Every structure is written in C-alpha cells, then in structure tokens.
Amino acid sequence: MSNYDAVTSEITEIRSTYIRDRFAFVPGTQLTRIIKELGATDDDLKKLASVSDGLKSDPTLPFRKTRTGRFGFDPRSMRVRRLEFQPFMLSMEDDFVRHDSGQVRIFDEIQNDLQLNTALQALFVFKFLVVEGVTVTHRPKLDYDSDQWICTLLNVRTITDGDLIGEPALEGVHSDGVDHTMTTYLGSENMTDDSAVTFLHDMREVNGTRWHDTNADLLRAKAQHRDFLDTCLIVDHESKHSVSTLYAADKSKPATRDLLAFLTRKPVAEGHHSHAFDSLKPHRELPMTVGLRLLDSAPST
C-alpha cells in the first residue's frame, strides 16, 4: 500500500467515526502524518506552530487576539479560495449567547503567512474530505440546495495574565452557527494540564451555562487539545459545546493557548442575520486558491 493509500484509508476511518458519533477527535501525530501526505511541508508545519505570534487584537474580548478570513469550498471546480472580507456576526439564533451576540464584529484579516502555509492548506483539504457529503441536521435559513461551503477560519490566541482570565469560550454552552466545526490546536505557553477542556453537550443543555455548571446527564463527550495539531470535528447543530478556563501554571507569567477554528456552513438564505455578509466573491488583495480532493470510496451517509 502506498503512503497516499494508507492516509486515504485513515481519513475514511475518521470520516466513518464522524458520521457515526457526530464528533471525532484526531490526535496531532496522526493528523501531521495525514497532512504531510496532502502537501504540508516540514518547514510550514514548523511555521504554523508560531503563526499566532503575529496576532494583534480582538474587537470585543480583552483576553484574546484574533484574525479571521473567509474561504469558499467549491465542489464544482474542486477548489478552496479566499473570499472577500465581510464583517462577522453570531446571534442568539445561532445558540450563541454572549454580551456581543448579534453585534457586527470586524476582525483583523488573516494574512499570507497563514493562508499560503501548505500545512493550513492541507487542513482545508482534510476537512473537505471528512465532511463533504455528510448529511447533517439542517439549520434554519441556510441554503442546503447550494453545493458551496463557506468556511470562516479564526486564528485565536487566548491569554491569561494576572487579573485577565482567558476564557476560550466566554459564552459558556453554545454552538458556532454552522454545520461543521473543526478546531485545531497550535500550541500553548505556561498552561496547566487541566486547562481548556472541551465538553460536548446534548442539544437540551441551556445556552450560556458556564462549563462547570452544566448538567452531567447531558454531557456527551469530553476532549482536550494537548499536542500540536490535536483536532476536534463536531456536527455543530447536533450538539452544543463549552470550553473550560485557561489557567497559568506559573502565575507570575502569562499563559497563552493558540487555536485554529474552521467554521463551515452552507451559504445563508434570505432572512438570515448574516445575509448581508455572505459574499462568495474572491478576495482581491489577498488571493489564495488550493485544489480539493475527494476520497475514492467515501462511505455512504
């Protein structure tokens, strides 16, 4: 069996788990092997680990630094490409209850250091291989007749420093307002072993509940990103999630945690709060295009 065939069967396995459990955790060592076969170079894997050093600010959260970018997955041309800048909004209708719910947020834009990194590009290809064709519970006001996907990529650094407490998900129990969420861990400094655990909750869990106040009977799964490229995939409208606090091991120094979140959904339909922010036009100043692939024999959904 060639390396590529071996990796294809690993992805098929991950996809089957995702279809069965509506959730999958991929260890970073396995994902590193997979994305190297999908085009990630050793040099770019190294650069990806420190790309978050270039983050500057966040429009609403003092303990976070964030950049975002929109990417379109087009199964017709089998390409992913950078889409033009649009503001970002998550509302209570998305199961997102926070002080800035429904607020139009303008993030710094993801630059070429991240979008032209071959490891990042291979992560797009990997995500598409896992989720394309998977049947999910439909969200209201998304266009499921469209074959297009819109993926908002967030590069986030959460920081705990003295009185500033880093909450990877200040909103408590929530969903991301999309169809398929993928989170990929890039690294951390001075973080305790019990920090930033991700909990998956049944849809009956109450939005906004803090992670430590949730109902144990409604807990579906628990995972922790510890190693470079540890990755969670979640069918976003079939469970809710929360993330525990980022604690500093040495309290005299800052703690940081770096993550990529790939939030992927169908384009919105008329009447959706993001209808004005859902362009499929390419980004003129920061163009990027990468070829997608399909598994030869994807399991049926």
Q: Which is nearer to Fe ion, 132 or 176 (CB)?
A: 176
Segment lying near Fe ion (by CB under 5 A), choices 17-25, 91-99, 109-117, 173-181: 173-181
C-alpha 106, offset from chain centre: 18
Q: Which is nearer to Fe ion, 63 or 280 (CB)?
A: 63
The pair of three-digit structure tokens given for residue 29, joined into one six-digit string: 């060592």
Q: Is the Cβ of residue 58 or residue 176 nearer to Fe ion in the bound state?
A: 176
Rounded to a whole number of angstroms, the minimum distance from the CB of residue 258 to Fe ion is 16
Distance (Å, rounded) from C-alpha 205 to C-alpha 216? Answer: 10
Stretch that binds Fe ion, among 37-45, 82-90, 116-124, 171-179 (CB under 5 A): 171-179
Q: Which CB, 154 or 268, lies closer to Fe ion?
A: 154
Token couple for 140: 């209201």
In angstroms, give the least distance from the CB of 103 to Fe ion: 16
d(CA 180, CA 200) in angstroms, rounded, equals: 14
Residue in the shown chain whose Cβ atom is closest to Fe ion? 176
Q: How far is the CB of 156 from Fe ion (least distance, A)?
A: 10
Smallest gap from Cβ 181 to Fe ion, in A, equals: 6
CA distances for 117 relative to 50, 111, 114, 195, 291, angstroms: 12, 10, 5, 28, 14
Return the number of the residue (97 or 292) whose C-beta is nearest Fe ion.
97
Piece of the chain touching Fe ion by CB under 5 A; list 24-32, 89-97, 125-133, 174-182: 174-182
Toward Fe ion, which CB reaches closer, 71 or 121?
71
Is 83 exposed, middle or buried, given 0-12, 13-18 or 19+ CB atoms closer than 10 A?
buried
Distances 147 to 2, 239, 251 between C-alpha atoms, Å = 32, 24, 49
Give the single-character DSSP code of 4. H
Q: Which one-letter amino acid corresponds to residue 105?
A: R
Beta bridge partners of 23: 234
Please tell me the distance from the alpha carbon of residue 235 to that of residue 222, in angstroms, as a whole number.
15
- Number of residues this chain uses to bind Fe ion (CB under 5 A): 1
Distance of CA 30 to the CA centre of its chain: 18
CA dihedral 105, 56, 210, 197 (to 10 degrees): 130
Site string for Fe ion, 131-170 (x = CB under 5 A): ----------------------------------------
Interacting residue with Fe ion among 167, 176, 179, 278 (CB under 5 A): 176
Closest approach, Cβ 143 to Fe ion, in A, equals 22
Min dist CB 66 to Fe ion, Å, is 13
Rounded least distance, CB 241 to Fe ion, Å? 6
Name which of 15 and 174 has its Cβ closer to Fe ion: 174
Task: Output the smallest distance, CB 43 to Fe ion, in A.
Answer: 31
From the list 1-9, 94-102, 176-184, 279-287, the region that binds Fe ion by CB under 5 A is 176-184
114 contacts 120 by C-beta, under 8 angstroms? yes
**Beta carbon nearer to Fe ion, 176 or 278:** 176
Tell me the C-alpha distance between 211 and 117, whole Å: 34
Contact 221, 233 (CB under 8 A): no
Hey, which residues between 210 and 269 contact Fe ion (CB under 5 A)?
none
Distance of CA 193 to the CA centre of its chain: 22
Binding residues (CB under 5 A) for Fe ion: these are: 176
